[in-house]
Structure formats: structure tokens, C-alpha cells
Chains A and B, each alone.
Chain A
Amino acid sequence: MKNEFQVIAELIEKDKKVLDVGCGDGILMEFLKNNKNTNIRGLEISKSKVQECIAKGLTVIEGNAEKDLKQFPDKSFEYVVLSQTLQAFLNPELVINELLRVGKKAIVTIPNFGYWRVRLHLLIKGTMPITKTLPDEWYNTPNIHMCSIKDFFYFAKSRNIKIFKSLAINNQNVSIINDSNLTIKNFFADLGIFLIEK
């Protein structure tokens, strides 16, 4: 399991009800179910990924986060997880609002556009950045709303979203982000993980 999922799993206490939005093939769901006794549900847009989840015995609904989160009642999950998908939505702000309505807390991870390799790529090559976490070309990328760790931090502040914990991942290293090291983390981390509440 990738490091990001380990970090997410550590943020979630045992025996909770969790919704994984954009759950993919269900790796994180399976881990939470087996190791944290999580009552876990998934929402996934890809039919083939939904099939993979069913084959793992996971409860998944085929659907689109922008349209289908509204069917869940307010605060019906303790945690709602959104892993590296925020940037692919037409309206990320709406999705964040929905996550925070449906979940008591939300865990959001974002590929960091402020990462030094991303900056360097654009600076030196002058073309849209391609990295391990952002492998697509500009013309076929699903990522239409990229942001940096700093952007997300400021966004949360401006919307009165409480950030309980924010973590930076750089390769295998996980570190805490705070107001004083934000600029440095925004430069060195390729992934940001935020535990938020409203």
C-alpha cells in the first residue's frame, strides 16, 4: 500500500464509519476494513474499478462525487476521504463543501503543484510539468484545477475550514506542516494531506 494511504489510515481511529470518495480499486478501503474495523463505503466513477471493489467484498456505489454526494445525509460519516481527486473536479469548492457536510471530518490529499520539481520543470523546460504524481500531458490530464499546499492552506483559512492536521509527504518522509514552515513544505513536498472540519 502506498505511503499516502498509510498516513490516511493513521488519521482514522478504529470502529468508525468512513466514506472513501473516488475509492478506485479499494486498496485503502480494504486496509481500513481489515485493520481498523471500519464500516467503510466507497464512491467510484469507473465501472471497472467498482467491479474490482465488489470482487474484494467492498460496498461501493458507482457514481460521481460532484453529483452523487448529495444523497448522503449531513454528518452521516465520521470521516470522508478524498485522495488525489480534488484537482479533477469542475468545481472543487462545491466538492469540499459536500465532503464537510457529509462527513464530520474530511481527509483530503492533493498533489502539490508548488513542489520544486514541478516549478523547475516549468521554469527550465517551459512546458506543463510532468512528475510521478502528475504523469499526464496537458491535453489529456484529468487534473483541471491544480493547486499547491499553500493554495489549499489559504483556501481553508478563507472559508473558515478548520485544519486539524496537515502533513507533507516527500518520498517516504512524512512531516507536519504549520504556519511557520509552510513555504518550505510547499517547496519540498509532492503531496499534501489535510484533516479538515467545518
Chain B
Amino acid sequence: MNTENNVKTLIVKKPLKLDCGKTINEFPIAYETYGSLNEKKDNAILVFHALTGDQFVTGQNPITKKDGWWSYAVGPDKAIDTKKYFVICANVMGGCMGSFGPSHEDPNTGTAFGTNFPVITINDMVNAQYNLLDHFGIDKLFSIAGGSMGGMQVLQFISNFPDKAKTVIPIACTSSHSAQNIAFNELGRQAITADSNWKDGDYSSKNTIPNKGLAVARMAAHITYLSKKGLQEKFGRKLQEREDLKFGFDADFQIESYLRYQGSVFVDRFDANSYLYITRAMDYFDLAKQFKGNLSDAFRATKAKFFIISFTSDWLYPTQENKDIVIALNSIGANVGFVEIESDKGHDSFLLNVPDFLSALKNFLDKSYTEN
């Protein structure tokens, strides 16, 4: 994975104490920006990516040559209008697009960290990214936004830095990973570590890649991002380039072929150890637990305006889990709006062209900005 060239990197000099107890120094945070920061520096939006996202939010991703993961939502005249706002997104710590992660070289061994990389948390991720505010001289962000794990980072960020954002948009997320969430992540991790090419995480020095395990992890996860209805409508029992069943184990059905394809393209852009570390960070996320079980206390110090969005067909982070955040905010009289968007595209709805979602996001941001 050549990520050297098109990647902007901030080397964070300030030591960062991680939740696991270790302290890291001089670590890289890879980021990308869109639009321009105005003179008052009050138009910045920090976007947080999900499990397999990266800093390349929109336009062509220079590494994969594909559209950025939030191209429907971010860009000129789009919901997050880059003509108006300065959008910043960093690759999360533990990731594989240039930020400090398990594929980085361990100075002690001269090879990749692999599983010697410290276990990181959502809290560590946002603490690391906070350094970008100092880097750009931004005192207060206009907004922070993200879906899925991005939404978890949004919640953690405003909890850690209550006066650093005016508006807060957690989308299709949760304040604590459920048993079902952990179960699916564990399935993915087991698929990776069961691949004989994984080599206890030391595959890079042995010149192997646990492609098969990572692909299976992606396939399983991908199913959780879609809804039953969406899958049925798109694929049903349609056959893949054949007239009839072949009585074998090739991909007879289109859905099989689709999943295999999703798995195969994923391994070209994602690192297996990063997948282990980031899913672990998600599983460890429990914001209420950080506040002795009272989620409201996570938000007591902030005056920010919240807008929470969920999707009807999202069964991975269902509406009720999003509503629990709304309830925690209402119980302390916080300024919070909430809408559940009708969509049959499942958890992935926030990444896709769902007009009701995109218009709600745009209207909330633009109206809040004029009240600035």
C-alpha cells in the first residue's frame, strides 16, 4: 500500500497518553481538507470516518482512485457544502491510510508493529485528532459530524472537548457497542486470525497477507450494513451469469458474487491488523461507562446544538440506540433535534444517496450557520 505521496500528515509532538496506559510520542495523523478556512476560522467541520473509511471524504481517493466515502454528502453545493465550509477529516489512529497504526514501523524491531501496536480506543482516536485544531488555529469548530464509528467519535469528541464545537451530528451510531455489535466484530477478527497467512500479526515481515481472512471479515460485515429488504430487492435469487444452478460451490447467486467482489476489493485497500485494532476500539466504546453509567453526564458541560439522525432499516445501530442518546440529552435540557429517516438501504444509508437524509443534514447545517 503506497500511501506516501498523496497523504498530508501532521506529526504530533505532544505526548499522548492512551487508555491502555502507554504513552506515544511524535506520531503521525494523516488528514485531508476540502474547501477553505475563512478569516474568522468559524466555518470548519471536522468529519470522522467509520471503520473502513479514511481521510479522503469526497472527490477521487488518490490511493484507491474511487470516489471518496462520503461523496454524496460532502462537496460543492452538497449537504456539507465545501463552498461554504472547511471540511477536515483525519485517518483514525490504528488505521492504514497514513495515521499511526499497526502497519507502521516499530523503531525497536525495524519491522511493522503488528500486534505489538497498543490497543487503542475511540477516546484515543479523538484525542489524537484534536491536535488538528491547534494545527489549523481553530478555536471552535462549526460542526462535528460522522456516521457509525464516526458518530461514536463525534460523541466522544464533544464529551472530551465540550466547548470546541457549535453543532454536533452523530449519525446512525450508538453510545455503547451492543453484544450483537461485538459479536459481529469478533466474527471478523476470528476470520482474520484464522487465516494461516496472518502469522500472529507479523505477516508483513513474512511477505504474506491474510487476504482470505480479511475478505471473509469484510463479507460478513457488509451483510450487516444492508437490510434484508434492500438485499432482496437488489439481488433476490438472481443467478450470476448463468441460466441455471451449477450444482457446485461457485458463486451461483448474484449475492454471492457481489459479496466475493466486496471482499476482494477490500483487501487491496485495507490492512488486516488495522481491522483488528479498529473493531476492538469500537467494541470497547461505552460512553456511559466513562461517566459511571450516566450518559447524560457525558454531555452536561456542553452548550452545543445536537442533531441526531437514524435510519428505519438500520439494524446494526437501530433507531432506539440513537434515541437513547436523544433521551440522555433531553434529560439535561440540552439543545437536541432528532429524525429517523425512512430508508431500506440499512446501516449504509448514511453513505448513500438518500435524499431525505441529505436534505435534513444540509438544512440543519445551513440554518445553524446563518444563526452563527
Q: What is A's interface to B at a CB cutoff of 8 Å?
A: 41, 47, 50-51, 54-63, 71-73, 76
Cα–Cα distance between A41 and B341 once the two chains are bound (Å): 20
Contact indicator B363/A55 (Cβ below 8 Å): yes
Query: Which residues from chain B contact A62 at a C-beta distance below 8 Å?
Result: 338-340
The 5 closest A-B pairs by CB, nearest first: A57-B367, A71-B327, A55-B363, A61-B338, A71-B330
B337 / chain A contacts, CB cutoff of 8 Å: 54, 58-61
- Residue among B307, B327, B368, B371 with max Cβ neighbours from chain A (10 Å): B327
Spell out B's residues near A (CB within 8 Å). 305, 307, 326-327, 330-333, 335-342, 356, 359-360, 363-364, 367-368, 370-371
Contacting pair A63 B338 (CB below 8 A): yes
Most B Cβ at <10 Å: residue of A54, A55, A63 = A54
In the assembly, what is the distance between CA of A61 and CA of B368, in Å? 16
For residue B368, which residues in chain A have a CB less than 8 angstroms away from its CB? Answer: 57
Partner among A51, A54, A57, A72 whose Cβ is within 8 Å of the Cβ of B371: A57
CB contacts (< 8 Å) of B327 on chain A: these are 71
15 A-B pairs, CB-CB below 8 angstroms?
Answer: A47-B340, A51-B339, A51-B360, A54-B307, A54-B363, A55-B359, A55-B363, A56-B367, A57-B371, A61-B330, A61-B338, A62-B340, A71-B326, A72-B331, A73-B332
13 further A-B pairs in the complex, CB-CB below 8 A; given A57-B368, A59-B335, A71-B330:
A50-B339, A54-B364, A54-B367, A55-B359, A55-B367, A57-B363, A59-B305, A59-B337, A61-B336, A61-B338, A62-B339, A62-B340, A71-B326
- Contacting pair B339 A47 (CB below 8 A): yes
CB distance from B334 to the nearest CB of A (A): 10
Q: In the complex the two chains form, is A73's CB within 8 Å of B333's CB?
A: yes
Chain A proximity of B296: nearest CB distance (Å):
10
Q: What chain A residues lie within 8 Å of B359 (beta carbons)?
A: 51, 55
Residues on B with C-beta less than 8 A from A76 are: 333
In Å, the complex CA distance between A71 and B332 comes to: 10
CB distance from A44 to the nearest CB of B (A): 9
Q: Nearest-CB distance from A93 to chain B (Å)?
A: 23
Q: How far is the CA of A57 from the CA of B370 in the complex (A)?
A: 9
* Nearest-neighbor residue (CB-CB) of B367 within chain A: A57
A56 to B332, CA, bound (A): 24
Min distance, Cβ B338 to any Cβ of chain A, angstroms: 5
Contact of B342 among A41, A47, A63 (CB under 8 A): A47
Q: Which residues of B contact A54 (CB under 8 A)?
A: 307, 337, 339, 360, 363-364, 367
Q: How far is the CB of A148 from chain B (nearest CB, A)?
A: 34
Report the separation of the CA atoms of residues A63 and B360 in the bound assembly, to the nearest whole angstrom. 16
- Across-interface contacts of B339 in A (CB, < 8 A): 47, 50-51, 54, 60, 62
Q: Give the shortest distance, in Å, between A102 (CB) and chain B (any CB).
A: 10
CA distance A57 to B363 in the complex (A): 7
